[in-house]
Amino acid sequence: MPSRPSRERAAKVTLNDVAMVAGVDRSVVSRVINGDPNLSVRQETRQRVLDAIDRLGYRPNAAARSLRTARAYMFGLVIPDFANPVYAEIIKGAERAAGNLGYGLMTASSGGVQLGLAHHLALLGQGRVDGLLFAGEETGHELEQLRTSAVPWLLVNRRIEGSRRYVVLDDERGSGLAVEHMVALGHRRIAHLAGPEGADTARRRRAGYTAAMTEAGLNPDPRHVVHADYTSDGGAAAMTALLRIEPRPTAVVVANVASAVGALHTLHEAGLSVPGDLSVIAIHDMPLAGHLVPALTTVRMPLGRLGERALELLATSNLTDDITEVVTEPVDVVVRASTAPPR
């Protein structure tokens, strides 16, 4: 008789099958799947269980687990805008971590439909998620709303004043490396196309820019810092403003890769050469950066690891725990065609 499709066989795999292959007790498999923070086993044992689950194609019965444990086995992630490619990498990292723990991930945007955090908390707080990662837009009321919600939460890629629960990147180091790259090429008039003035990431990137300029013995011209939102339109408008300033800078550090796309377009429309007239480097590396004209030099930041680590901490910490973690590695410059020594 011909064998049945593998998908049917995978549906019959049981918890006992996984335990037998992994060489552990059935309860250990269950606690690994459920992300039990009190489970004390070696990392090799935990990995053996995860490998057995993957090899056998075991899929827990989500409905049964929810009834048994009063959990939704789902986390939520609120981001500012799906159009920003930076958040695609963070989402992928968070999804990877959720999957490893046997959970799912629901993602929503706080900016596109202007619904705000209160709307999402009202929906997600009805037992639909076991925790919320918040990377959405900040208006000043988010921390109070999070603290009064019934949902465990953690800030991602931003800090809000007064909060002790966040995971961020080393943005100061990222923009500092960008400045150091330009200085090493011989640039002295280095501008900063900064992010929104109210954004925590923008403040930290500007601080890194200023510190690196000072360290290099350069006095940053306040006129050479122009703020814009993290969109191509914002980058285009900011670059237009920057080109009106005399003397014109020979290099610019752009706070976001989406903004850099608009900045490059403005330079092209103005008939200026990159990097001949102006060198450009942007924070965050994306596959699209290598396909721009010219290919964009970037500072690569661990966006995927940021999402992954945030989800892991949300799943294993208590709501009263202080979490103030900076994901530091890897951060490095990816040199492409948009940067060169000044003429």
Between CA 340 and CA 280 the distance in angstroms is 9
213 within a domain of the structure (yes/no): yes
334 within a domain of the structure (yes/no): no
Shared-domain flag, residues 179 and 274: yes
CB atoms within 10 A of CB 314: 26
Helices and strands, number each (H, E), in the chain: 13, 12
At 247, give phi and psi (nearest 5°). Answer: -70, 145
Shared-domain flag, residues 203 and 278: yes
Q: Over 90: is that where the pLDDT of 5 sits?
A: no
Residue 31: which CATH number?
1.10.260.40
Contact status, residue 199 vs residue 138, Cβ threshold 8 Å: yes
Between CA 64 and CA 183 the distance in angstroms is 60
pLDDT score for 63? 45
Grade residue 327 by pLDDT with cuts at 50, 70 and 90: very high
| Residue-by-residue DSSP string for 116-178 | HHHHHHHHHTTTT-SEEEE-S---S-HHHHHHTSSS-EEEES---TT--EEEEE-HHHHHHHH
Grade residue 124 by pLDDT with cuts at 50, 70 and 90: low
pLDDT score for 215? 97
pLDDT in tens, 281-299: 999 999 899 999 999 999 9
Last residue of a domain, one of 14, 32, 60: 60
Prediction pTM value = 0.77
Select the more confidently predicted residue: 318 or 337.
337
CB atoms within 10 A of CB 144: 12
pLDDT score for 118? 63
Question: Tokens 């990147």, residue?
Answer: 169
150 within a domain of the structure (yes/no): yes
Between CA 130 and CA 259 the distance in angstroms is 34
Helix (H) or strand (E) holding 109: strand 104-109
Shared-domain flag, residues 313 and 209: no
Q: For the chain, what is the domain count?
A: 3
Shared-domain flag, residues 38 and 119: no
Shared-domain flag, residues 237 and 287: yes
Say which amino acid occupies 146.
Answer: L
Shared-domain flag, residues 56 and 146: no
pLDDT score for 207? 97
Select the more confidently predicted residue: 192 or 138.
192
Question: Angle CA(283)–CA(289)–CA(277) in degrees, nearest 5?
Answer: 80
C-alpha 184 chain-centroid distance: 29
Cis check for the bond before 37: say yes or no (omega within 30 of 0): no
- Residue-range definition of the domain harbouring residue 12: 6-60
Tell me the two tokens of residue 25.
């007790």
Grade residue 179 by pLDDT with cuts at 50, 70 and 90: very high
| Residue-by-residue DSSP string for 283-334 | ES--GGGGGSSSPPEEEE--HHHHHHHHHHHHHHS-TTS-EEEEE----EEE
Shared-domain flag, residues 238 and 274: yes
Contact status, residue 169 vs residue 156, Cβ threshold 8 Å: no
Residues β-bridged to residue 166: 155, 324
54 within a domain of the structure (yes/no): yes
Between CA 239 and CA 255 the distance in angstroms is 12
pLDDT in tens, 38-83: 788 888 898 898 888 888 888 765 544 543 444 668 899 988 888 8
Half-sphere exposure of 184 toward its Cβ, with a 13 Å CA cutoff? 9
27 within a domain of the structure (yes/no): yes
3-state secondary structure of 181: helix
What ranges in 155-296 are assigned the alpha helix state H? 171-185, 200-215, 232-242, 257-269
Between CA 61 and CA 52 the distance in angstroms is 17
- CA-closest candidate to residue 118, choices 98, 155, 143: 143
Q: Over 70: is that where the pLDDT of 16 sits?
A: yes
DSSP assigned state of 249 = P
Shared-domain flag, residues 193 and 294: yes
Average pLDDT of span 106-124: 64
At 151, give phi and psi (nearest 5°). Answer: -105, 125
| Summary mean pLDDT of the chain | 86
Shared-domain flag, residues 160 and 308: yes
Grade residue 188 by pLDDT with cuts at 50, 70 and 90: very high
338 within a domain of the structure (yes/no): no
Contacts of 120 (CB under 8 A, 6+ apart): 76, 78, 108, 110, 132, 136
336 within a domain of the structure (yes/no): no
Residue 155: which CATH number?
3.40.50.2300
Shared-domain flag, residues 127 and 152: yes
Grade residue 151 by pLDDT with cuts at 50, 70 and 90: confident
Shared-domain flag, residues 219 and 266: yes
Contact status, residue 212 vs residue 205, Cβ threshold 8 Å: no
337 within a domain of the structure (yes/no): no
Shared-domain flag, residues 176 and 247: yes
Select the more confidently predicted residue: 218 or 198.
218
How far is the first Cα of the chain from the last one, in angstroms, to the nearest whole number? Answer: 76
